[in-house]
Amino acid sequence: NAGVTQTPKFRILKIGQSMTLQCAQDMNHNYMYWYRQDPGMGLKLIYYSVGAGITDKGEVPNGYNVSRSTTEDFPLRLELAAPSQTSVYFCASSYSTGVAYNSPLHFGNGTRLTVT
Amino acid sequence: TQLLEQSPQFLSIQEGENLTVYCNSSSVFSSLQWYRQEPGEGPVLLVTVVTGGEVKKLKRLTFQFGDARKDSSLHITAAQPGDTGLYLCAGGKMNYGGSQGNLIFGKGTKLSVKP
């Protein structure tokens, strides 16, 4: 099973450039999430979606946009890249809400983004 | 504001030693999950604890949820090099990151077990 697939694995952007981080899951999960992980800082929630057509802001949404046109895909868009967006980005999915005891998050292997 | 404090931040031990990692908060959580993350990969769930005082065992790993559901611990017996990784705790919190509620992650404990 593929699970959660993220592309690309690595990317270097110049300040002001834009890009889309791709995320796809094949588990028919309703809930999908984008997190960023900075060294020594844990995971911070950027955006999440509870189903196709529905998205909501997380803890650190500024500078990012998302869309959810299908159950499988949840791309993350950076419009004007800034050095502060240098991070490792993780996409995750779950069957139900992440606070549910029986609905763990399934993570992709991340995209390492550097903005210079 | 860091709602979940993990300690220690780094831990380097020899194979065969025991260790305990702590996850503390002043907030009450509906559940507490522990994940392990290896370099270049995403976190993978180890266990979920739900009931205050609950203890779960996974081979040499023992997880405990505090009676008040504000803290948790992970104890590893006779650590092996394969236990090396970043251990993350995550608490389920309603109204965090949206009205649905989401998981709040600690900063993690980086464990290195030397042969």
pLDDT of residue A104: 86
Range of the domain at B38: 5-114
pLDDT of residue A44: 93
SS3 B102: strand
The pLDDT tens digits of the residues spanning A27-85 come to: 999 999 999 999 888 899 999 999 999 999 998 999 999 999 999 999 999 999 999 99
Question: Which of A43, A48, A56 lies closest to B105 in CB terms?
Answer: A43
Quickly state the pLDDT bin for B8 (edges 50, 70, 90): very high
Q: Name which of A84-93, A96-105, B53-62 the model is least confident about.
A: A96-105
Question: Which of A41, A42, A99 lies closest to B93 in CB terms?
Answer: A99
Among all residues of chain B, which has the CA nearest to that of A44? B105
Amino acid sitting at position A55:
T
Q: Do B71 and B24 meet the contact criterion of CB atoms below 8 Å apart?
A: yes
Q: Is pLDDT above 60 for B2?
A: no
What are all long-range contacts of A57-62, with beta carbons under 8 Å and residues at least 24 apart? A57/B97, A57/B98, A58/A33, A58/A34, A58/B97, A58/B98, A58/B102, A59/B96, A59/B97, A60/A36
User: Looking at the DSSP assignment, which residues form a beta bridge with residue B58?
Assistant: B61
Q: Does A57 touch chain B (CB under 8 A)?
A: yes
The pLDDT tens digits of the residues spanning B19-72 come to: 999 999 998 888 899 999 999 999 999 999 989 999 999 999 999 999 999 999
Q: Is pLDDT above 60 for B5?
A: yes
The total of structural domains in chain B comes to 1
Domain A4-115 sits in which CATH superfamily? Immunoglobulins (2.60.40.10)
pLDDT of residue B16: 98
Q: How do the domains of chain A map onto residue ranges?
A: 4-115
Cα gap B58→B35, rounded to integer Å: 13
CATH number for the domain spanning B65: value is 2.60.40.10
Q: Does A1 touch chain B (CB under 8 A)?
A: no
Q: Quick check: A42 and B103 CB within 8 A?
A: no
Mutate to test the interface with B, among A23, A43, A47 (most CBs of B within 10 A): A43
Q: Name which of A110-114, B27-31, B52-56, B84-88 the model is least confident about.
A: B27-31
Determine if the peptide bond prior to A8 is cis (ω within 30°). Answer: yes
